[in-house]
Structure 1
Amino acid sequence: MRSAAGGPAIEERLADTLARIDAPDVVLAVTRQGHRTVLSGGSALAPPTPRPALRYELGSLSKTFTVLLLAELAVNGELSLDDPLTARLPRLPLNHPRSGRITLRHLATHTSGLPRIPADLLLGALLRPYDDGYSGYATEHLLRTFARTRPRHRPGTRWRYSNFGLALLGSALSHTTGTAYPDLLAARVLKPLGLTGTTLAPGATGTDAVGHRANGTTPVRGTDMGAFAAAGAVRATPDDLLTYVEAHLSPGGSPLAAALRTVQVPLLRRGWRHRNTHTLTWYQHPAPRGPLLFHVGATFGQQAFVGYHPASGTGLIALATRRGHTCRMVTSAYELLYALAGDGGPAGAGAPVTAPR
């Protein structure tokens, strides 16, 4: 299926990229200076609802929504990025002094020192990778686990990816405002940005994409993230994701303008020889004429990629109902965005973000 407003060159590149992705259902879309091009396909029979009209599980891409919510609350003075986490949670009997030094900024940037997932979830995830261990993991359980968990390093000193940390950030934002996380995200981020096809809960039958295991044929039940909703529960349509990335490319006209700018400011370097830059929520890589920003996500049977290049006003989304290296969706999407960054649009069309030297 095709929906185009970006010219044959982009259409052809999307088609070439689509052909390299091995998945039952795939949606690729580019927005370039306000013009959208959408292609879809896949190895499975087309579902009754067209693929671009379905909602897809975003997995860890949900973290960008949570951190944008954090930035919006900070911009409005309802909290500070450098507030201690413990000041934004119910009183807890902490077992380790380092836990009390974790701030909201540390959680957002994965520098809290907390492990990727709590220890009591790790064994089950290793033994039963397709079981949804997050389901039924209540907020009270999450907070008790945090109270007894020892951070692996002093907060703010090392980057360590953590679903645990983002789950706690969601709890902190909810406790601060007295509003359940799904309602808070809807009121402060989704509604202001006009994301009417984005939610944290499954929709009616036929409105959500069905994920698949690595074999490409076995369906996977929708993911229930429990207390980890802020780390990976968002579901969105391709159209909403294009609107989302366009808001980041042109924040000036958005009701969340200040927050959208805040989440794009580079904050730290990490990785081999500190080559990789991280903003409050986005990965930032060097690219022609200015950096590109991106994030990826995966659930038990789906993958998602969102990236954008402010200097050329280009954004790209990719969604698939399969995960795994052989799918090649993330690599193919990244390569296409990098190529588009090098040859499209006049320099300065967007609001470039410069990485610190």
Structure 2
Amino acid sequence: MPFALVSNGSLLTPEQPDVTVPWWSFTKTVLAAAALSLVRDGLIGLDEGVPEGPFTLRQLLRHEAGLADYSELADYHTAVARNETSWSAAEMLQRLDATRLRYAPGDGWRYSNVGYLFIARLIARVTGLRLEEALTQRVFTPLGLSRIRLATTRADLAYVNMGAASTYDPGWVYHGLLVGPLVEAALCLDRLLDGHLLPQSLLREMQTVRTLGGPIAGRPWVAPGYGLGLMQGMVESGLTLSGHTGVGPGSIIAVYRCIDGNSTASCAVFDESGNEGAVEAEVVRHLICAALE
């Protein structure tokens, strides 16, 4: 199982750190960082409304906007399993009836990839750039990362470890699918949460979570929560982790930083499996080892 472990900016015990993998929903953390950089620069407000609906950027980032998710559509899963070409975003939104909110914004919580599609559109609209250009300018270059790209066609995945999904169409990830070396995923999170991009006030906002209940069966979370583009909470070992797990056809990535005490470490794990809990547990194992060094 390849992984890259980072502690205080130094690479520790790397194993295949340069393998290029799909970042799946860790892309959400990058989108959140880019959106918060716009807030930092006074270009948008966290609690301002957005054109896509009666909700704010904060509510989109924390999955509190009331939106549904296309993963609820049986036809979506069937089409992906058959390696079909992705629907257009307009068709997906129509099939989902995305204009019908499932609850009043701010009154509930529902994981929604559609919300992050709207965030991606907001970033492109405000910057006047293509999404990949905006993410490079706003996140990757400031964090000293240069080997990450946005996959939009099957050809873009030719040299990416896609596990069992070698013919996958990245268009199915409507908010965008970042791909890059595993080590850069770990460094991205480590430098982001270490304050290399956002002021402490916005990092606190990013890590202010909505608690999502108690333990999750088969996974290490004891007190899971969701912040602004971050999954965050206590795990069985007693550590508090902040980052994101990403799941797609054929593989899983988990990228987390231990945020307890003075000793910080970040770890990225990628596995060609469908077991989120096992991959997250591998992250926890490495972070415990880093904490004991």
Q: CA deviation at 1:206?
A: 9.3
Corresponding residue for 1:302?
Answer: 251
Deviations 1:243-296 (A, max 9, x none): 212213421xx2444587246431322224994332212122236786321310
1:37 corresponds in structure 2 to 12
The structure carrying a bigger helix percent of its residues is 1
| Conserved 8 A contact 2:243-2:257 | yes
Q: Is the 8 A contact 1:284 1:293 kept in 2?
A: yes
Structure 1: which 5+ runs fail to align? 1-25, 41-50, 90-99, 214-218, 345-357
Aligned residue in 1 for 2:209: 267
166 and 259 in structure 1: CA distance in 2 versus 1, 3 angstrom threshold: farther
Alignment match of 1:228 (pick from 174, 178, 181)? 174
Correspondent of 1:250 among 187, 190, 194: 194
Give the gaps of 5 or more residues in structure 2.
Answer: 216-221
Letter in 1 for 2:27: S
TM norm structure 2: 0.82
What's the CA shift for 1:56? 0.7
231, 238, 246: which is aligned to 2:182?
Answer: 238
Q: Which amino acid in the other structure matches residue 161 of structure 2?
A: V
* Counterpart AA for 2:105: P
Give the Cα–Cα distance (whole angstroms) in 1 for the partners of residues 242 and 276 of structure 2. 24
Name the % identity.
Answer: 21
> For 1:1-357, what aligned pairs fall within 5 Å after superposition?
26-40=1-15, 51-86=16-51, 89=52, 100-117=53-70, 122-131=73-82, 135-138=86-89, 140-141=90-91, 149-201=99-151, 208-213=159-164, 220-225=166-171, 228-230=174-176, 233-251=177-195, 254-258=196-200, 261-262=203-204, 264-272=206-214, 275-286=223-234, 291-310=240-259, 311=261, 312-320=263-271, 322-325=272-275, 328-337=278-287, 339-340=288-289, 343-344=292-293
- Write the distance in 1 (CA, Å) between the matches of 2:129 and 2:156: 28
SS in 1 for 2:174: helix
In the TM superposition, residue 316 of structure 1 has moved relative to its aligned partner by 0.8
Counterpart-to-counterpart distance in 1, 2:108 and 2:28: 19
Select the structure that is richer in strand. 2
Judged with a 3 Å threshold, the aligned counterparts in structure 2 of structure 1 residues 211 and 265 are, in CA distance, closer, same or farther, namely closer
- Report the Cα distance in structure 1 between the residues aligned to 2:47 and 2:84, rounded to whole angstroms: 31
8 Å Cα contact 2:5/2:11 also seen in 1: yes
Q: How many angstroms apart in 2 are the aligned matches of 1:126 and 1:224?
A: 14
Contact 2:3 2:183 in 1 (8 A): no
Counterparts of 1:161 and 1:152, CA distance in 2: 12
Q: CA deviation at 1:145?
A: 6.5
Q: 1:325 to 1:286 in 2, by over 3 A?
A: closer
Higher Rg of the two aligned structures: 1
Q: Alignment length, in residue pairs?
A: 283
Give SS of 2:211's match.
strand
Seen in structure 2, the aligned counterparts of structure 1 residues 172 and 249 have a Cα distance that, compared at 3 Å, is: closer
Partner secondary structure for residue 225 of structure 2:
strand
| TM-score, with structure 1 as normaliser | 0.69
